[in-house]
Structure 1
Amino acid sequence: MIFTRRAALAALALSTALGFAPQAALAQNAEKPKLTLGVGGKQLLYYLPLTVAEKKGFFKEQGLDVEINDFGGGAKSLQALVGGSVDVVTGAYEHTIRMQAKGQDIRAVVELGRFPGITIAVRKDLADKVKSAADFKGLKIGVTAPGSSTALTAQYAMVKAGLKATDAAIIGVGAGASAVAAMKQKQVDIISHLDPVTSKLEADGDVVSLIDTRTEAGTKALFGGSNPAAVLYLKGDFATKNPVTTQKLANAFVKALKWLETAKPDDVADLVPAEYHLGDKPLYLQAVKNSLESYSRTGVSSPEAMKSMYDALKLLDPELASSNVDLKTTFIDTFAKKAAAGS
């Protein structure tokens, strides 16, 4: 018994010295190894870390069997979590603030995007009349789904420009080819969307971009600072009841973020399903290049970025204007920090 204990300790010390995480040496079984994840538009580059974790086998490395349910937009995946049909969600961070304000304990555990990655663009034949969000009144804005981050960003831009959030019609156009078709067929006048949809429309000359939050500069121009974008979020009691499972999910996502830090656009294009390219691989490569800056480097959102998002929501939503959400309740950062540290 003494020999076994010493051997185990020696093996652990050796693995640590070689750079292996203690969890790898003394693996724990997940409380819930088979789970369901909701997402609103998986093919969008907004959710690329999810596809990387899936296709690179990072979930399986952690002993997890993750079934991914793809919904039409982020608001629908949130509904699925609240309703209990999915265990966790990759979706916009802002949903955690909204739910905490309503007394529902929804929390993020990993930041996937540090900038929203959303571009707001006008149809080219209207570009001479529509120069900014102040000109959106009476127009139709295409978004992934009403209530999703693409819709909220467009509405925030309008409110900031002096309009009301209801001054333009919000039209759900989906996440992929349907969104491209909606603009090409003039079903909408403005589109608030994500890559590769945005880059496809730009490359085809269908739109003129007005607001671009794929970069730090563009995000600061609209919001005044960084804004958490996609996160992995869940019910607070899920993390409490399933801490090992939650840690393993965080490990997989942080590993995906680390892979993206050094990945080249060709690496990404070769990894994802061909249909994600929207029939134009060179265009997809450009879209990836445009988006790589937006992904989180640490998996943890800063207090300043979270406050920036909360301030935007307070300006946009009268129900949140007088709210007092403790932002510490919206993000449990210990899982991402442990994953980043390899512990």
Structure 2
Amino acid sequence: MQRRHLIAGGLAAATLPGFTWAQGIEKPKLTIAVGGKNLFYYLPLTIAEQLGYFKAEGLDVNIVDFAGGSRALQAVVGGSADVVSGAFEHTINMQFKGQPMRAFVLQGAAPQIVLGVNPKTMPNFKGVADLKGKKVGVTAPGSSTNVMVNFVLAKAGLKPSDVSIVGVGAGNGAVAAMRSGQIDAMANLDPVITLLARSGDLKIVTDTRKLAEAEQVFGGPMPAGCLYAPQSFVEKNPQTAQALTNAMVRANKWIQQAGGSDVIKVVPESYLLGDRAVYIDGFLASKQAMSPDGSFPAKGAETALKALASVDDKLAAAKIDLNAVYTNDFVKKANAKYR
């Protein structure tokens, strides 16, 4: 009789709003490291957090924000975080270093990184080759913004050592560095880019918010922001990875249906950098570069490897198992659940 009451009570609880069965989730409490959470690059992460999608999947997620993606990766390598919300290409670099990582849900279908020059310090800029000897701002050294700078420089016949890389973060510090003339060029993301371009403090050179331009720059589909974790974490915690993927796929789909005013109601006020109109413009500029369903493109890993190999001879000579750096298995189940 008592057992019957318990079962009935459990079924009743399962129908209550906000109640979620967390059964089978190996690690319901976990930490995600991110580098520049306010950027549209990571918008699906914020949407999943703010709209309660992680909680709905039975997860208690703590998101820790760092100055750039390379710092977020260090947090997972060091053991202070479980999962990274960061650039896909880090999974390739880490396999090369013997610390295999696996990406399991995509946030960005294109990098959304924009390279622009400072009209004050480079009024006569004609091409990327003019950046030789100049200071170039990135979110953090070693981050995806730095990788893109290296790649664009290489296409113009320059080496990474031909410029001075300066970490400026992804918020007001980046804006101030550009406006004060501390840097001559910058690789950054929205809303920082839209804010600077609109005020005349940045001249856009390369814009990978546009899918067609991103494919032209990188020579194929270039997967960007994603959730990735040590391969061992994904293998030991498949239900946890599935729950995270479910939440992110829901967020991806919400963004596809959202307008700028919808996003403004959800994100923290600090994300707006003091200008709602600029934030909305930035969202509209970046929206097409966001993944509609969390799936990794078939040739995406190949494109990312080519980009990295173009500036790293050792990586170019290495044997990388591209099938090991990502999986679409969790995404397929999530899309079956959230159509």
Normalising by structure 2, what TM-score?
Answer: 0.92
Aligned to 2:251: 256
Aligned to 1:86: 81
Do structure 1's residue 158 and structure 2's residue 153 form an aligned pair?
yes
> Which residue identity is paired with 1:165?
P
Aligned to 1:36: 31
For residues 103 and 259 of structure 1, do their structure 2 counterparts lie closer, same or farther at Cα, with a shift above 3 Å needed?
same
Do structure 1's residue 191 and structure 2's residue 177 form an aligned pair?
no
Structure 1 distance, partners of 2:41, 2:20, is 33
Structure 2 distance, partners of 1:186, 1:126, is 6
Tell me the SS of whatever aligns to 1:316.
coil
Deviation at 1:311, TM superposition (A): 0.5
Q: For 1:147-182, what per-residue CA distance to the aligned partner results, in whole angstroms no more than 9, with x for missing partners? A: 000111011100111111111010000110000000
Q: How does 1:146-185 map to 2 (within 5 A)?
A: 146-185=141-180
> Which residue identity is paired with 1:117?
Q
More deviation, 106-115/212-221: 212-221
Q: For 1:257-282, what per-residue CA distance to the aligned partner results, in whole angstroms no more than 9, with x for missing partners? A: 01011110111111101111100001
Aligned to 1:103: 98
> Does the 8 A contact of 2:20 with 2:57 survive in 1?
no
Aligned identity (percent) is 47
More deviation, 326-335/217-226: 217-226
For residues 187 and 126 of structure 1, do their structure 2 counterparts lie closer, same or farther at Cα, with a shift above 3 Å needed?
closer
Q: For 1:208-257, what per-residue CA distance to the aligned partner results, in whole angstroms no more than 9, with x for missing partners? A: 10000001122022112220000100011111111111100000001000
Structure 2 distance, partners of 1:307, 1:61, is 35
Q: For 1:34-86, what per-residue CA distance to the aligned partner results, in whole angstroms no more than 9, with x for missing partners? A: 10110001001110000000000000001100011101110011111111110
Aligned residues: 326
CA RMSD of aligned residues (A): 2.0
> Does the 8 A contact of 2:112 with 2:208 survive in 1?
yes
Do structure 1's residue 53 and structure 2's residue 53 form an aligned pair?
no
Unmatched segments (≥5 aa) in structure 1:
12-23
Structure 2 distance, partners of 1:223, 1:132, is 18
Tell me the SS of whatever aligns to 2:32.
strand
Structure 2 distance, partners of 1:180, 1:150, is 15
Structure 1 distance, partners of 2:175, 2:269, is 17
> Does the 8 A contact of 1:251 with 1:336 survive in 2?
yes
Structure 2 distance, partners of 1:27, 1:168, is 50
* Counterpart selection for 2:269 from 270, 274, 281: 274
Q: How does 1:308-323 map to 2 (within 5 A)?
A: 308-323=303-318
Aligned to 2:14: none
Unmatched segments (≥5 aa) in structure 2:
12-18
> Which residue identity is paired with 2:147?
L
> Which residue identity is paired with 1:225?
G
Structure 2 distance, partners of 1:230, 1:132, is 28
> Which residue identity is paired with 2:94?
M
Q: For 1:286-337, what per-residue CA distance to the aligned partner results, in whole angstroms no more than 9, with x for missing partners? A: 0000010011122121121221111111111122110121111000221111
> Does the 8 A contact of 2:209 with 2:285 survive in 1?
yes
Tell me the SS of whatever aligns to 1:125.
coil
Deviation at 1:129, TM superposition (A): 2.5
Tell me the SS of whatever aligns to 2:47.
helix
Do structure 1's residue 329 and structure 2's residue 324 form an aligned pair?
yes
Tell me the SS of whatever aligns to 1:228.
coil
Deviation at 1:127, TM superposition (A): 4.6
Aligned to 2:298: 303
Tell me the SS of whatever aligns to 2:160.
coil
Structure 2 distance, partners of 1:243, 1:306, is 22
Deviation at 1:136, TM superposition (A): 1.1
> Which residue identity is paired with 2:303?
S
Tell me the SS of whatever aligns to 2:301.
helix
Structure 1 distance, partners of 2:298, 2:122, is 37
Tell me the SS of whatever aligns to 1:113.
coil
Q: How does 1:206-245 map to 2 (within 5 A)?
A: 206-245=201-240
